[in-house]
Structure 1
């Protein structure tokens, strides 16, 4: 038990575990109980047919697919790390099927959301909130969903495309979550996402994996996350959450000041690389939260925050201007 406790301590210290104190307390009380490591995600999955989908398409297949995706995400071990049941990452996958192409092949939009708990607060901070509109896949009812990091393409590119996309966003979620607890903690997961992009399935119906297919797709998100030009983004993820959000329960002003510094760091990135996908993804997750954080700040700080946010996040500029 001493070895188990020591290993847990070292793991928590390394990854800045959000439940360090709770974990150690439980281990001290229940010293004789063997620890069971849960999977990493607690994913809520919804598969729904779009309004324009052919009425001849069986709706039952989508219920089966929904259950299969939920099991694929929640039942699989995605890392070598031990996640306690309370540490599983809360996330949502909403797959809206928009077109039946025949031969059990579909087009869909996928919305992905993930959150991260704030220390000593009943609040979940959004880390990812985005939509992927380039999801094409083949699914035969009751067929198993299979994925291997070593053979992403599988035997059928269209069948493999669905699991490749799900695995890709799982690694993005894991990377952003790890970034928020340890400086540059998500690098290994972003590299796994890169592996999927580099070995992605290829077919005429499939898109979103290549740089020439647009400037807001799966290729560009992992490219930005691993590009040295965006290295300050990872510092922001850590400082924003660990030194900002997690400290606000004991010192609101100090926590908010740290987040203000994060905006200045992001602005430096924005000046070097305006209109990047990574910045868009960040503000899609954080816009509402940032508005609330600075709504009650001193006038000068509020004005500066609104100015920076309106420049970097034009989509929500009107929202930020209301803070002034």
Structure 2
């Protein structure tokens, strides 16, 4: 009888130990991103379509299977993202031109609503890919052995860090700085070569260089205050107090307007409004007339592309 009890106790302890190890393993292994990846090759003909399916799976594994930080994320905390790589040209020699559309969202507290953190398209993607070649990336050696092959993984890693930075900014004051610095490291050590573009300031005013530059530039320090207040003091309190949450977002518009007056037409502001224009219109369409009019005025000045949309709120 005593032996039986000892055996049962041993089995019970073993079972508990197994559960602890199992939960710890799941907890530790949970990655930061949950990315839906699509590779579209409809614009080109004559290429092996199976190869692009392999590439799609490789990119998905690269983004979802890699630890991008030392932070611990539970499966429920993973950031929802969409990456669409649209192949636009076959340059021969396993080299391709493409555009990359990147979208990322953040859940809003106590609701089923998700807010867009990033919604942009990068038109300067050139890369080399041979089916089944591993997608490799190292923060310490961004350029790799083949600049054209590394250009794809460097770009994917860059946007992973940008997304992590914006997400962390939205949950804690200046929470994204460490990730924006990792994006800067990629820009500073980016692959270089014929046809590779998007990493240098003289290659345009809307590229990877300028986005990370704006995010780390002290002139845009109030933008990070906006990211935190907009989400934590604005959207996250709207379930309990719509007026209070909308008031916090109105204050964010005033802060953004101060940034806009100092630095009009910046990439960072354009990126913000591309992600938030529809949301802002919905938020202020139900505001009192005076608040609605003020929001429409500020938004139309800062976001000329969507000015007509905001004017409809008046």
Asked if Structure 1 and Structure 2 have the same fold, meaning a TM-score greater than 0.5 normalized by the shorter chain, the answer is yes
Which residue number in structure 2 is paired with residue 129 of structure 1? 119
Which residue number in structure 1 is paired with residue 298 of structure 2? 308
Which residue number in structure 2 is paired with residue 16 of structure 1? none
Cα deviation digits, residues 153-172 of structure 1 (max 9, x gap): 00000000000000000000
Question: How far off its partner does 1:31 sit?
Answer: 7.9
Out of 130, 134, 146, the residue aligned to residue 144 of structure 1 is 134
Which residue number in structure 2 is paired with residue 229 of structure 1? 219
Out of 274, 279, 288, the residue aligned to residue 289 of structure 1 is 279
Question: How far off its partner does 1:50 sit?
Answer: 4.2
Which residue number in structure 1 is paired with residue 90 of structure 2? 100
Which residue number in structure 2 is paired with residue 192 of structure 1? 182
Q: For 1:181, what is the secondary structure of its paired residue?
A: coil
Cα deviation digits, residues 289-310 of structure 1 (max 9, x gap): 0000001100000000000000
Task: Tell me, in whole angstroms, the C-alpha distance in 2 between the residues paired with 1:232 and 1:188.
Answer: 17
- 1:272-283 to 2 correspondence within 5 Å? 272-283=262-273
Determine whether 1:47 maps to 2:39. Answer: yes
Question: How far off its partner does 1:34 sit?
Answer: 3.6
Cα deviation digits, residues 190-240 of structure 1 (max 9, x gap): 000000000000011100000000000000000000000000000000000
Task: Tell me, in whole angstroms, the C-alpha distance in 2 between the residues paired with 1:110 and 1:32.
Answer: 39
- 1:255-274 to 2 correspondence within 5 Å? 255-274=245-264
User: Which segments of 5 or more consecutive residues in structure 1 lack a partner in the other structure?
Assistant: 1-29
Q: For 2:102, what is the secondary structure of its paired residue?
A: strand
Question: How far off its partner does 1:57 sit?
Answer: 1.3
Give the stretch that moved more between structures: 35-44 or 97-106.
Answer: 35-44
Cα deviation digits, residues 85-111 of structure 1 (max 9, x gap): 000000000000000000000000000
Which residue number in structure 1 is paired with residue 71 of structure 2? 81
**Number of corresponding residues:** 293
Which residue number in structure 1 is paired with residue 147 of structure 2? 157
Q: For 2:170, what is the secondary structure of its paired residue?
A: helix
Question: Which has the larger Rg?
Answer: 2
Q: For 1:137, what is the secondary structure of its paired residue?
A: strand
Moved over 6 A (4+): 30-33
Out of 221, 240, 249, the residue aligned to residue 230 of structure 2 is 240
Task: Tell me, in whole angstroms, the C-alpha distance in 1 between the residues paired with 2:217 and 2:230.
Answer: 20
Question: How far off its partner does 1:68 sit?
Answer: 0.3
Cα deviation digits, residues 240-282 of structure 1 (max 9, x gap): 0000000000000000000000000000000000000000000
Cα root mean square deviation, aligned: 1.1
Task: Tell me, in whole angstroms, the C-alpha distance in 2 between the residues paired with 1:33 and 1:134.
Answer: 43
Cα deviation digits, residues 13-42 of structure 1 (max 9, x gap): xxxxxxxxxxxxxxxxx9897432300000
Question: How far off its partner does 1:116 sit?
Answer: 0.4
Which residue number in structure 2 is paired with residue 19 of structure 1? none
Task: Tell me, in whole angstroms, the C-alpha distance in 2 between the residues paired with 1:230 and 1:205.
Answer: 31
Return the TM-score normalized by structure 2: 0.92
Return the TM-score normalized by structure 1: 0.89
Task: Tell me, in whole angstroms, the C-alpha distance in 2 between the residues paired with 1:63 and 1:204.
Answer: 27
Question: How far off its partner does 1:49 sit?
Answer: 1.3
Question: How far off its partner does 1:58 sit?
Answer: 1.4
